[in-house]
A and B are shown apart, each in its own frame.
Chain A
């Protein structure tokens, strides 16, 4: 009886993993051979809408200068552009740097200085966005260095009145720092070059990632603005927009460069923050998306549910290993024929291999031929992610709950040499 229960549970785990494996293969083959949707990338001349570029900052003196200089060099009509750095109670020189830029470019740079209220990026965005009347709100993290064409590329999709949010591609620029940054570059390539583009091609749910992207003000208002009680305001926004009938689009051509964590503790904190926020969205929206409102297609509902559950796969995989260990110790062996062994081996290889296939494909598409040789080391990166994700998810489900973690600035460490006032 006990063995039967464990076997049923194990099959359940295998079913979940097979679903995500198939999803990986579909995305990768679509990205390789499917018809690409990049419908807005060619628009270069138009009556451009007014744009506000938000840069939430908290102790960003090392990187904010580079970001502002890049935005000042952007190819966008100056009379339709406002750069709004949001200094949320920085204790370093960030405020001074922003003040100096504001004095030098008073028409273009209009910083917001927060000294009270809820801390965190979502709260900062909510407060600043409410004060701005621009038609399009773009968001960049303070360490991002946008190229001159990027603002137009990210704004162009909003000429389609059904588009509520747009997301560009994030590319690490400190790739060559160490093994971790190289592995993160591989992971990012898989996520954007394959996953996001395939979602875009298939008309599914590309994810608005909270940076290198933007939201239409009208769409933002229609869903009630930024939520401040989440650690993943980007995922939250994606699903609220989709449920409301807005399109979220991905622009693979619109690249922006970021700093990825250069040490494992920072990486783990980042993963745990993402996990917590993503699982908050899982709890809030999974039933709503599965119930398939009229403006959400069946495939979007399926993809949305799988996207929401992506951080729950870690603990499910751990559960699978635990069940396999228990059954092994209890002496359970499937009927020993070579066919069964073949099936198990097939799943072990093809199943486990799907993520590597995706990452390798993305890296090859990127033309990074040498970097792809690091592929086997992703095992170790996955192991760390698995543990961090599982720990955070288990704590959420059986411990502190989905809203219990205090919202605060959980900053990712910066590595660039400090900048200064202009």
Chain B
């Protein structure tokens, strides 16, 4: 009941088996070298493991990401329409005034698309906004004082976010009428940057994920999942940012941009990458030698 015929033979039998029957003596000898006790497979020590840069791997690292990136770039036009439809539905639900605008972005005849944006104008901060945002900052700071030491990174992150918010207080205190940004431009710029990120994702994965010995369909699947997830996240994030900035004024726009902006997308991307890196080797999925009960190599080529 061995999963392969070779699994039930002795090493001596394997060594004298005609090459034509088994697909080559060299392959058999290679398998024998890695055979451990009770038919298990001896894995290479992790210190010695390295990758395999075959010509086909190099091609897949270059061609497939470029192809996927081009597909994403070409999909930006329909994606812009989807984002617009999403925002046109969400914006009224959130009680934000104004329409959803549509800005033209062009990089030649091939890359020509529209990006939606929220047209609601956020107010310049008034006394009420200072009090509310100030109270939120104070609450967050107080929270960081009572959080247990085991969540220290969260404390640091919250304090860092509060620090960024305090710089905004300072800016508005010094130059109250010269804040150079507005909500519509912000939402447009955010989605434009999102477009760039979407186009880049296949290229980044081509460099950092496609070199590994993972099945090609998995690599493509991870790329598409990351792109789709972030493509859906972006307009939702813009809607949420717009809601917060509209109600709490431009006072919170810098914090939205620096702390809760594309950093969130990078975090999501790294999460997908980590998940993808936990997937098994392509070679382990189609073992050429794996008798029943045999242990698979613990450290195969990545």
A residues in contact (CB < 8 Å) with B: 25, 29, 31-34, 36, 38, 41, 169, 178, 180, 193, 197, 252-253, 255, 263-265, 268, 325, 328-331, 333, 336, 338-339, 341-342, 344-346, 348-350, 352-353, 356-357, 360-361, 363-367, 369-370, 372-376, 378-381, 383-384, 387
Show 16 residue pairs from A and B whose CB-CB distance is below 8 angstroms, ordered by the A residue.
A33-B53, A36-B48, A38-B47, A255-B47, A265-B152, A331-B178, A338-B111, A349-B204, A356-B274, A357-B207, A357-B208, A360-B274, A361-B302, A365-B299, A369-B280, A384-B152
Residues of B within 8 A of A169 (CB): 47
**In the complex, which of the residues A32, A328, A350 contacts B302, with contact meaning CB atoms closer than 8 Å?**
A32
Check B254–A365 contact: CB distance below 8 A. Answer: no
**In the complex, which of the residues B152, B204, B258 contacts A264, with contact meaning CB atoms closer than 8 Å?**
B152
Q: Is B195 an interface residue (CB 8 A)?
A: yes
A350 to B207 CA separation, bound complex (whole angstroms): 9
Q: Is B107 an interface residue (CB 8 A)?
A: yes
Check A376–B274 contact: CB distance below 8 A. Answer: yes
* CB proximity of B272 to chain A, nearest CB, Å: 9
* CB proximity of A382 to chain B, nearest CB, Å: 9
A252 to B47 CA separation, bound complex (whole angstroms): 5
Q: Which of B129-157 contact A (CB under 8 A)?
A: 149-150, 152-154, 156-157
Q: Is B243 an interface residue (CB 8 A)?
A: no
- With A338-B107, A346-B200, A376-B267 already in contact, the answer to whether A363 and B50 are too (CB < 8 A) is no
Check B277–A329 contact: CB distance below 8 A. Answer: no
Check B156–A387 contact: CB distance below 8 A. Answer: yes
Check B266–A380 contact: CB distance below 8 A. Answer: no
**In the complex, which of the residues A342, A356, A370 contacts B199, with contact meaning CB atoms closer than 8 Å?**
A342
Task: Write the chain B residue with the least CB distance to A35.
Answer: B50
Check B150–A352 contact: CB distance below 8 A. Answer: no
A357 to B108 CA separation, bound complex (whole angstroms): 33
Check B278–A365 contact: CB distance below 8 A. Answer: no
A329 to B197 CA separation, bound complex (whole angstroms): 24
Residues of A within 8 A of B59 (CB): none
**In the complex, which of the residues A32, A41, A331, A375 contacts B274, with contact meaning CB atoms closer than 8 Å?**
A375
* CB proximity of A359 to chain B, nearest CB, Å: 9
**In the complex, which of the residues B171, B189, B273, B298 contacts A329, with contact meaning CB atoms closer than 8 Å?**
B171
**In the complex, which of the residues A29, A197, A338, A384 contacts B195, with contact meaning CB atoms closer than 8 Å?**
A338
How many positions in chain B have a CB within 8 Å of any CB in the partner chain?
A: 61
Q: Is B193 an interface residue (CB 8 A)?
A: yes
A114 to B275 CA separation, bound complex (whole angstroms): 51
Q: Which of B256-302 contact A (CB under 8 A)?
A: 257-258, 262, 266-267, 269-271, 273-275, 277-280, 298-300, 302
Residues of B within 8 A of A330 (CB): 180
Check B302–A364 contact: CB distance below 8 A. Answer: yes
Residues of A within 8 A of B208 (CB): 353, 357, 360
Check B299–A265 contact: CB distance below 8 A. Answer: no
What would 18 more interface pairs be, CB under 8 Å, given A32-B211, A357-B208? A32-B53, A38-B48, A178-B150, A255-B47, A264-B149, A331-B180, A341-B193, A349-B204, A360-B277, A364-B212, A364-B277, A373-B274, A373-B278, A375-B274, A379-B267, A384-B152, A384-B153, A387-B156
**In the complex, which of the residues A253, A339, A383 contacts B153, with contact meaning CB atoms closer than 8 Å?**
A383
Residues of A within 8 A of B53 (CB): 32-33
* CB proximity of B85 to chain A, nearest CB, Å: 22
Q: Is B160 an interface residue (CB 8 A)?
A: yes
Check B107–A339 contact: CB distance below 8 A. Answer: yes
* CB proximity of B66 to chain A, nearest CB, Å: 15
* CB proximity of B258 to chain A, nearest CB, Å: 7
A32 to B267 CA separation, bound complex (whole angstroms): 25
**In the complex, which of the residues A38, A352, A373 contacts B275, with contact meaning CB atoms closer than 8 Å?**
A373
A381 to B204 CA separation, bound complex (whole angstroms): 23
A197 to B46 CA separation, bound complex (whole angstroms): 12
Produce 1/0 per residue, B152-190, CB < 8 A to A: 111011001000100100010000001011000000010
Task: Write the chain B residue with the least CB distance to A342.
Answer: B196
Check A370–B278 contact: CB distance below 8 A. Answer: yes
Check A338–B196 contact: CB distance below 8 A. Answer: yes
- With A328-B254, A369-B280, A375-B270 already in contact, the answer to whether A345 and B299 are too (CB < 8 A) is no
Closest 9 CB pairs of A and B: A375-B274, A331-B180, A380-B153, A264-B152, A252-B47, A32-B51, A253-B47, A367-B299, A345-B196
A148 to B242 CA separation, bound complex (whole angstroms): 63
Check A348–B302 contact: CB distance below 8 A. Answer: no
Residues of A within 8 A of B149 (CB): 263-265
A350 to B200 CA separation, bound complex (whole angstroms): 9
Q: Is B105 an interface residue (CB 8 A)?
A: yes
Q: Is B38 an interface residue (CB 8 A)?
A: no
Check B156–A383 contact: CB distance below 8 A. Answer: yes
* CB proximity of B70 to chain A, nearest CB, Å: 14
Q: Is B192 an interface residue (CB 8 A)?
A: yes
Check B107–A372 contact: CB distance below 8 A. Answer: no
Check A349–B200 contact: CB distance below 8 A. Answer: yes
Q: Is B225 an interface residue (CB 8 A)?
A: no
Residues of B within 8 A of A346 (CB): 196, 200
Residues of A within 8 A of B201 (CB): 349
Q: Is B33 an interface residue (CB 8 A)?
A: no
Produce 1/0 per residue, B221-259, CB < 8 A to A: 000000000000000000000000000000000100110
